[in-house]
Amino acid sequence: MNKTALITGATSGIGRATAHEFAKHGINLVLCGRRQERLDTIKKALSKQTDVYTLNFDVRDKVATQSAIASLPDTFKTIDILINNAGNAHGLDPIQTGDLDDWDAMMDINVKGLLYVSKVIIPQMTERKSGHIINIGSSAGKEVYPKGNVYCGSKHAVLAITEGMRIDLNPFGIKVTAINPGLVETEFSKVRFKGDASADTVYKGYKALQAEDVAEVIRFAVSRPAHVNIADVLMFCTAQANSTIVNKN
């Protein structure tokens, strides 16, 4: 029987590319996000390849998160693979001038949202003694860079939570994976810089990772045999050496 994956943040970037990659391999999809029009478009495109259901909710809202997932029809209720991907950076400011609303957004979405979704899905995985949780961290979860402060903090938290999940879910045979990319050319910088022109320069002068590059690694992780768990992946484009060194033309 085909597996079912629930992907948060499936309307754009890494989440959307992962949906396309999984569809190619016949994995059924529960696609989540707040932009319904995009969910509809992606569902229409991928329904030719696999079964697709969409859920519209904000991961910051724990009640909406619980009730959206509880509303899944029986055919989509069993989640074999959870991709905790929804998230963004909001702002790039020194700590002394950072914006409280940006800080709330990053901690509420990247950290607490991941927990809210996981809290709903984990009980069915422990009950079945199977499942795979993939958390999308970041190189920012391994290394802090100037003005990255709270975003880096949120992604360090994602990595710590991932390791905690791997320990606590170990008796249940549940795989837990962290995929930590460096710079990926998505809508990420448009969100971080709130649509201002700084977003245009982030991926100029070198070839950044593309969302599809990350999706292929995610698909590799979920296609390993039952006894193999890819625990932690750090991936950069060739031009990037670490969070601060990027070889630009």
Active site residues: 151
Structural contact between residues 30 and 7, judged by C-beta atoms closer than 8 angstroms: yes
**Under rule CB under 6 A, residue 14 binds ligand NDP:** yes
CB of 120 within 8 A of CB of 163?
no
Shortest separation between residue 24's beta carbon and ligand 8X3, angstroms = 25
Beta pairing partners, 176: 133
Burial class of 27 by CB neighbour count within 10 A (0 to 12, 13 to 18, 19+):
buried
**Is position 112 an interface residue for ligand NDP (rule: CB under 6 A)?**
no
Rounded CA-CA distance 72/95 in Å is 41
Among 135, 138, 162, 186, binds ligand 8X3 (CB under 6 A): 138
Tell me if 179 sits within 8 A of 221, measured CB to CB.
yes
Mark the segment that binds ligand NDP (CB under 6 A) among 58-66, 93-101, 170-178, 227-235. 58-66
Taking the least distance from each CB to ligand 8X3, the nearer of 39 and 140 is 140
Element (H, E) at 6: strand 4-7
243 binds, among ligand NDP, ligand 8X3, none (CB under 5 to 8 A by kind): ligand 8X3
Q: Does 183 bind ligand 8X3 (CB under 6 A)?
A: yes
For residue 100, CA distances in Å to 5, 96, 106, 108 come to 34, 11, 10, 12
* Residue range at the interface with ligand NDP (CB under 6 A); choices 79-87, 93-101, 118-126, 219-227: 79-87
Gap between the Cα atoms of 212 and 231, Å rounded: 20
**Structure token pair of residue 121:** 């899905």
- Binding region for ligand NDP (CB under 6 A) out of 18-26, 44-52, 163-171, 182-190: 182-190
By beta-carbon proximity to ligand NDP, the closer residue of 29 and 183 is 183
**59 interacts with ligand NDP by CB under 6 A:** yes
Asked if 239 contacts 248 with a C-beta cutoff of 8 angstroms, the reply is: yes
Distance of CA 46 to the CA centre of its chain: 19
Stretch that binds ligand NDP, among 10-18, 23-31, 40-48, 233-241 (CB under 6 A): 10-18
CA-CA distances (angstroms) from residue 230 to 23, 168, 172, 225? Answer: 21, 17, 17, 10
Selected from 18, 28, 85, 243, the binder of ligand NDP by CB under 6 A is 85
- What residues form DSSP beta bridges with 181? 235
Assess 88 for contact with ligand NDP (CB under 6 A): yes
Which positions touch ligand NDP (CB under 6 A)?
8-15, 33-35, 58-60, 85-88, 109-110, 113, 136, 138, 181, 183-184, 186-188, 191, 211
Residue ranges that bind ligand 8X3, judged by CB under 6 A: 138-140, 148, 182-183, 243
